[in-house]
Structure 1
């Protein structure tokens, strides 16, 4: 059987059975076809045109899902099985990853540089650094606010204030968004500075205690309640940046850096 699969792998023929109805088109079926064609296969694309036809197919072949890929009459499996067959990486949706935060940091930095260039003609300015932190705060708050309940539940695992006063876990993303928006505008520093300083300080202390003192392995709520980002260095960095921004703005308001205005 394996020899036959290997021969057809060399010949390049495959059959994909996928659900395709007016109400639903299987995205993994389309991805499987793309993988096969990219690998040089000739693909027979068989549509399962109703839920009943799909259920009959799954019962006949003893499978729980579609699409199903066959090579040489032998079942390879679904989309993930096909990726393994082709020697490609299969991402574990439950695996921890810093990628969401790293991407967010990179994109907000680029946005800040772009905004600075549009205003001053120079991408690398003090204003760009200020906007980077402010944009980052707004973006992080937006991700949290997509599912406030999920964020609050995860946040309660480690935030010291939220553990003592649960409503703080719901207030936090709104406070972060407010401070970030005001910092982008450079307005109402008397409000944005204390808000950012407070939530940043409580957050930093909470992360240090949970990760570096108690040695707990937790997921960070910083990019929302469904995050697989580990609680640790990047989470602490977010809070320290908020503190630094608040201190900087306070110094600007007090005129400690001459004529420069935020």
Structure 2
């Protein structure tokens, strides 16, 4: 190898660093460049005047801006594209929020089962998993009930006929989930979960598999890009299954070992 090829690659980064503002994309850009083996000439724009002057000089609307080999690459997303890295599309449909949610609630259920019974693998862990999932799903909806209700009204059959149901739903799901986690007041949690789960399952099945509509799912809140379909149907089927399970247990029907040991 020649000496030239051994020299580190050079990049010049212009980013806002002020007493009352530190640009997060500037930090991400600097970190990305360093991780890709660049030596970064870090130039701070320490005032609004300096930032406006830089933007006017280079004909850009935003900072940070990266230059490599004297050529302007652009902002953080443009740099990622230049380096051959994926850039997330905020409008693209994705199952990542749901995968993350169910993974965490499953681990929570296993952890609680281990803490209580000394083993993570119990029937109670499966019950807790559904209860935790319902509670967390409700929490995501409750972050912005108005947004959830708007999306929910696109497909839920009962909400279309009685709009207040779209606002009641997340509270009912959260209440049923918490009661199921506690194993308390089954006379309340079972009918609530059975009702909202059945209505939800029928609504999703009709919208997706009969009407063939392509909609976003409100299951993880009203701002998600999760497509309506299998995930939302699973959420509702889980609630129905849990309600039936607890109802059978309440009536003394042998449905398995509710507790370990």
TM-score by length of 2: 0.94
Residue from 31, 46, 54 that aligns with 2:43: 46
Structural RMSD (CA): 1.7
Retained in 2: the 8 A contact 1:252–1:260? Answer: no
Match of 1:166 in 2: 163
**Which stretches in structure 2 are left out of the alignment for 5+ residues?**
none
Residue from 129, 132, 135 that aligns with 2:129: 132
Runs (4+) of structure 1 exceeding 3 A deviation are 258-262
TM-score by length of 1: 0.94
What SS does the corresponding residue of 2:223 show, helix, strand or coil?
coil
Distance 1:89 1:50 in 2: 32
Distance 1:159 1:173 in 2: 13
Match of 2:29 in 1: 32
**Which stretches in structure 1 are left out of the alignment for 5+ residues?**
1-6
How far is 1:52 from its partner?
Answer: 2.4
Alignment of 1:54-65 (within 5 A): 54-65=51-62
Structure 1, residues 5-51: CA drift from partner, whole Å, max 9, x if none? xx99x741001111111221111111111111011110011111122
Match of 2:86 in 1: 89
Q: Would you say how many aligned residue pairs link Structure 1 and Structure 2?
A: 256
| Counterpart check, 1:14 vs 2:11 | yes
Retained in 2: the 8 A contact 1:58–1:65? Answer: yes
How far is 1:93 from its partner?
Answer: 1.0
Distance 1:110 1:258 in 2: 23
Change (3 A) 1:20 1:185: same
Retained in 2: the 8 A contact 1:32–1:79? Answer: yes
Alignment of 1:145-160 (within 5 A): 145-160=142-157
Match of 1:243 in 2: 240
Structure 1, residues 161-216: CA drift from partner, whole Å, max 9, x if none? 11111111111000000000000000000000000001100110110011001111
Structure 1, residues 125-156: CA drift from partner, whole Å, max 9, x if none? 10000000000000000011111111111111
Distance 1:185 1:156 in 2: 31
Match of 2:249 in 1: 252
